[in-house]
Amino acid sequence: MKPIHHLSAIELRDAFFRGELSAVQIAESFLARMKIHDPKIGAFLSTLGPRALMKAEILDKKRAHNQPLGKMAAIPVAIKDNMHIAGELTTCGSNFLKNYKAPFNATAVHLMEEEDALLIGKTNLDEFAMGSSNENSAFFPVNNPWDLKCVPGGSSGGSSAAVAARMALIATGSDTGGSIRQPASFCGVVGYKPTYGRVSRYGLVSFGSSLDQIGPFAATVADAALTMEVIGRHCEHDATSLDLPQEAYPLSPKLETDATFGVPWHFLENLSPEIRANFEHSIEVMKSLGAKIVEIDLDVLKYSIAVYYILATAEASTNLARFDGIRYGLRSQNAKTLEEIYEQSRKEGFGREVKKRIMLGTYVLSAGYQDAFYKKAQKVRTLIIDAFDNAFNKCDAVMMPVTTSGAFEHGAFQDPLQMYLQDIFTVPANLAGLPGISVPSGFDSRGMPLGVQFLGPQMCDVSLMQYAYAYEQASKHTRIPRHYE
Ligand code: GLN
């Protein structure tokens, strides 16, 4: 048999079902990998060793007694540290919450535990999920397992690095403007952002509530699909949760005969030669499967960065108002009056990027500027939604690169605006609430992974996953970085 960490999550679970591996053996093996590799990578903010081992023992007993086992039985799962596991820390990568223990389970966490997943750790992130490189974590940065000099992407960089180095086989992320798809692409793993509302946000610390979605990182599309089967479920605790039945994700390596993919060539005109060549290769793969490729007009997406950084900061500024030094987390010890508690706690608790975004968001919402910025951005958001609606009259899914380059080196962006501009291919899906998936599509000239992105109409999660699966099976770019094989 292959080494345990070379198995996909589904293969590992099936080996456990067949009695070839015990759950304790699986938990010990992944906890050991974390111990060996994570000091260099920095993917985890906390490990849940005793919890995982206790659950593993229960699973082994259940199996010994032929009791029913869940769909995610014995699969090692890492949780981004902005999602609650009751009784464990939820730091959000922030000093503000460094001692904050979650009072309840996030719905996604609860659903996976119910299906017998082994929760093995909480992953590092940009503070409050604000960033594209993980350099904004208040604790330590994450290094990319493909090259430790490079960033893993952000904000869910701990989750993508954990799966890339096979310290976990599934990890959760939250995607507000690309934080699942971009790090997945930078780390050579699959990242799935569901239709807005498909996965409950209950127990996810909010960043931009109209944009946030929880989704999985996995080594394979099938593993991501399995996770979606479990977490894609209506939840009464989230008012934006879609009231739809849970869906199965049947996957086939073949495409339906008339599957059509739209490419917004004009919008993509400034691609670097390397990204263009890689993307064109992905299009050839789809053609070889019988796909029809059509050109679509998504020129209005050029405004998406501006729109996103107005709306996301506006929403963040109201969401983060709850961190006042009284209700959650840190309270400054230097403060004497109520006013000082608010001021000092925020000053001490929040990092630079978070403060900047709160100020920007407050500014665009302030009386004199609301019409000029916030309301205008909402209008352009509607134009972006309309442009996608038109595009989906011509095609079943849109194909685009995920990023403008492979993973960059730590410290490469001194100008934050330049870093924001890198999100151009990921933020549109959040603005329009669309499902999107990043699938490994090869490597750049430095040997860093690249990804291709498929975007579908709202609620078409199942067919989108199917396209990505067909692409993955025909292209086979998924690898484990040499050092972690
Ligand atoms: N990089 C984007 C930002 O900094 C997206 C973050 C996210 O999706 N959480 O806001």
Query: pLDDT in tens for each of the 485 residues of the chain?
Result: 789 999 999 999 999 999 999 999 999 999 999 999 999 999 999 999 999 999 999 999 999 999 999 999 999 999 999 999 999 999 999 999 999 999 999 999 999 999 999 999 999 999 999 999 999 999 999 999 999 999 999 999 999 999 999 999 999 999 999 999 999 999 999 999 999 999 999 999 999 999 999 999 999 999 999 999 999 999 999 999 999 999 999 999 999 989 999 999 999 999 999 999 999 999 999 999 999 999 999 999 999 999 999 999 999 999 999 999 999 999 999 999 999 999 999 999 999 999 999 999 999 999 899 999 999 999 999 999 999 999 999 999 999 999 999 999 999 998 989 999 999 999 999 999 999 999 999 999 999 999 999 999 999 999 999 999 999 999 988 899 999 99
Question: Is residue 356 flagged as an active site residue?
Answer: no
Cβ-contact 441, 434 below 8 angstroms: no
Using alpha carbons, list the distances in angstroms from residue 156 to 128, 305, 409, 421: 10, 19, 17, 18
**Ligand 1 close to Cβ of residue 177 (< 6 A):** yes
Q: What pLDDT does residue 359 have? A: 97
- For residue 238, the tally of other CB atoms under 10 A from its CB is 17
Peptide bond into 475 cis (omega under 30): no
Distance 301 CA to ligand 1 centre (A): 17
User: If you ran DSSP here, which 8-state letter would residue 372 be given?
Assistant: I
d(CA 96, CA 345): 8
The span from the CA of 391 to the CA of 368, in Å, is: 36
What CA–CA distance (Å, rounded) separates 9 from 78?
Answer: 13
Whole-model pTM: value is 0.97
Q: Residue 60: CB within 6 Å of ligand 1?
A: no
Amino acid at 94: S
Give pLDDT, residue 222: 98
Could you tell me if 294 and 318 are in contact, meaning their C-beta atoms sit under 8 angstroms apart? no
Q: Of ligand 1's atoms, which has the minimum distance to the CA of residue 180?
A: 8
Query: Active-site residue 80, yes or no?
Result: yes
Residue 301 near residue 387 (C-beta atoms within 8 A)? yes
| C-alpha torsion angle, residues 198, 199, 205, 209 (rounded to 10) | 0
Pocket test for ligand 1, best of 125, 132, 185 (most atoms within 8 A of CB): 132
pLDDT at 316: 98
Compute CA 300 distance to the chain's CA centroid, rounded to the nearest angstrom: 25
Q: State the pLDDT at residue 477.
A: 86
Burial class (CB in 10 A: 0-12, 13-18, 19+), 457: buried
| Amino acid at position 179, single letter | S
**Of the listed 94, 137, 179, 345, which one is catalytic?**
179
Closest ligand 1 atom to residue 179 Cα is 8
Length of the chain: 485
Residue 125 Cβ inside 6 Å of ligand 1? The answer reads no
The separation between CA 419 and the C-alpha centre of its own chain, rounded to angstroms, equals 18
In whole angstroms, give the CA distance from residue 402 to residue 105.
Answer: 31
